[in-house]
Amino acid sequence: MFIRRLLLALILCCNAVLLYNLVWSDKGVFAYLDLKNHQKQLKTRIDALAGRSLDLSQEIRWLKSDRAFTEKMTRAHGNYLRDNEIIYLFPGQYPEGSVGDDIKN
pLDDT tens string 29-77: 888 999 999 999 999 999 999 999 999 999 888 888 888 888 888 877 7
pLDDT of residue 95: 56
Query: Is residue 6 scored above 70 in pLDDT?
Result: yes
Q: Are 81 and 75 in contact (CB under 8 A)?
A: yes
Give the long-range contacts of residues 76-85, CB within 8 A, separation 24 or more: none
Please choose, from the candidates 91, 98, 54, the residue with its C-alpha nearest in 3D space to the C-alpha of residue 76: 98
pLDDT of residue 78: 76
Which of 3-12, 42-51, 65-74, 81-90 shows the lowest per-residue confidence on average (mean pLDDT)?
81-90
Sketch the domain layout of the chain as residue ranges. Answer: 2-76
Residue 86 DSSP code = -
> Against a cut of 0.75, is the pTM above it?
no
| Helices then strands, each counted (H, E), the chain | 4, 0
Q: Cβ distance 73 to 63 under 8 Å?
A: yes
